[in-house]
Chain A
């Protein structure tokens, strides 16, 4: 259910630092919007495909799976432009979209979740000024992943209990008992975090003296 979109591999794209890949992706996004020309967007798409399929040796399926959700948008945009503005703009818009989404898919497929989370923590470092502790980002993400199957399981139990009393199908009324149950759980989890020392100052050389608000 929470299997990542990462595709294992050992080539240079996989080994490139996650921060670099994200930086290049951002630069590509900006670049493609600034350079509004057909050759540029077409070249970018070709380059991205070369890197993804050729260099990183990702299976075409893995990329296609991530690009598929934008098909309807693609068709709608193309149709709109053919009718109202002309094929040139339409092609630029569609190729730009394809290039960007494919590039993002390549980054996602070649970068481990933990590596991306580490980049997020790194990016959040300046926020320490406001009392944000970057290390806690990883903790919150871990708890999120822990909660997903747990909530699904509790939802299932409540549905069964309601079915046993004659209610069939999921009813949104079930949300109320479910939410209260998981809120209690989260409350205790908060206590468990404290009991296991999560509120201790970060064991870093720079002492986090001022506690977060």
Chain B
């Protein structure tokens, strides 16, 4: 990512962020409104920067949006805002249909992720009857079934209780994908390779979790 700046109208949200993310697990922390979500959205082209360029594997999010989106999955904070279909299996299938995957393979892949995320017993369940944690797992399943190489999580556990936070954290830990996780829960970042601290649209600190998290906590107190 090179010299990226972004503003919403008059309001500058990111200023001159230049980074290359090559690590397996990258964490992002920072105060509310510091630009974390905007940064996360830049990574799969949900937001296109007002200036500068974002490259994913050399692909420009501005011009090669489709391919970028195929490679980078995105999980939002509120599972209710990303479950599209009324029942569980239908929702997981949604992304595969968009990819044009043939029906038989769709059924196989849906089954596979439902089993992996403990949702197999809820196949035809109405999504709104799932617990918060199950809903977030459903949201994650719906993204992973599409086979992205990287996944961006924007505060995936903020709305969850402790038990469900642990469950989702374990799921993220076990992923082989490259992940970028925006979070306020610093213990989530324990095994991470790199952590960025955002402050007012800039990267204020960048390093290993041990260094940056300590720096961030000191600053906040």
Q: Do chains A and B touch in the complex (CB under 8 A)?
A: yes
Q: A70: CB under 8 A from chain B?
A: no
> In whole angstroms, how far apart are the Cα atoms of A191 and B94 in the complex?
14
Contacts of A193 in B (CB 8 A): 84
Residue among A153, A189, A200 making CB contact with B84, cutoff 8 Å: A189
Tell whether A139 is near chain B: CB-to-CB under 8 Å: yes
The interface of chain B, by Cβ under 8 A from chain A, is 41, 44, 46, 66, 69-70, 73-74, 76, 78, 80-86, 90, 94-95, 98-100, 126-128, 142-143, 146
**Which chain A positions have C-beta within 8 A of B74?**
191-192, 195
Distance, CA A150 to CA B86, complexed state (A): 10
Given contacts A196-B98, A196-B146, 16 further A-B contacts (CB under 8 A): A149-B128, A185-B80, A189-B84, A191-B41, A191-B46, A191-B76, A192-B81, A192-B84, A193-B84, A195-B44, A195-B46, A195-B73, A197-B95, A200-B98, A200-B100, A203-B100
Is A55 part of the binding interface, using a Cβ–Cβ cutoff of 8 Å?
no
Interchain residue pairs A-B with the least CB separation, the first 7: A203-B100, A197-B98, A192-B82, A188-B81, A196-B95, A149-B128, A195-B74
In the complex formed, the residue of A with least CB distance to B143 is A196
Fill in one digit per residue for A17-33: 1 if any B CB lies within 8 Å of its CB, else 0. Answer: 00000000000000000
Chain A residues near B69 (CB, 8 Å)?
Answer: 194-195, 197
- Residues of A with C-beta under 8 A to B84: 139, 142-143, 146, 189, 192-193, 196, 198
Q: How many A-B residue pairs have CB under 8 A?
A: 72
Within the complex, what minimum Cβ distance (angstroms) separates B96 from chain A? 9
Q: How far is the CA of A192 from the CA of B85 in the complex (A)?
A: 12
Q: Inside 8 A of B66's CB, which chain A residues have their CB?
A: 200
Question: How far does the alpha carbon of A192 sit from the alpha carbon of B69 in the complex, in Å?
Answer: 11
5 inter-chain pairs at a CB distance below 8 angstroms, sorted by A residue, are: A142-B90, A189-B82, A192-B74, A195-B46, A200-B99
A110 to B50, CA, bound (A): 54
**Which A residues from 55 to 94 make CB contacts under 8 A with B?**
none
